[in-house]
């Protein structure tokens, strides 16, 4: 079977359940990671996105309170 793969790892987003997005944001920023500030979505989630050193898109999210 042939599988088509992209040359760029940035074509996918990996989502992680993260009960405390604000604390994760502070931890990443404290370690010098360039991460977007957490934002609320129209569908009730709080999320933050950034690229890992290999270029993969990562999203840490949890239900907004």
Handedness of CA 19, 22, 26, 31 (dihedral sign): positive
Q: Strand, coil or helix: what is 39?
A: strand
- DSSP H or E stretch at residue 50: strand 45-51
Q: What average pLDDT does the segment 20-26 reach?
A: 97
| 21 in a structural domain | yes
Residue 14: domain span: 10-63
**Whether residue 62 has pLDDT greater than 90:** yes
| 49 in a structural domain | yes
Work out the pLDDT band at 3, boundaries 50, 70, 90.
Answer: very low
| 3 in a structural domain | no
Structural domains in the chain (count): 1
Q: What average pLDDT does the segment 8-14 reach?
A: 75
| 1 in a structural domain | no
Kindly give the residue spans of alpha helices, DSSP state H, lying in the chain.
Answer: 21-30
| 4 in a structural domain | no
Q: Strand, coil or helix: what is 45?
A: strand
- Under DSSP, the state recorded for 60 is E
> What is the CATH number for 33?
3.10.180.10
Tokens of 45: 């989630």
Q: What is the pLDDT of residues 26-55, one digit of tens each?
A: 999 999 999 999 999 999 999 999 998 888
Q: What is the pTM of this model?
A: 0.79
């Amino acid at each position: 079977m042939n599988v088509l793969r992209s040359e760029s790892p940035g074509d996918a987003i990996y989502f992680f359940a993260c009960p405390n997005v604000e604390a994760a944001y502070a931890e990443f920023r404290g370690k010098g990671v360039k991460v977007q500030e957490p934002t609320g979505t129209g569908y009730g989630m709080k999320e933050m996105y950034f690229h890992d050193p290999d270029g993969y898109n990562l999203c840490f999210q949890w239900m907004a309170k």
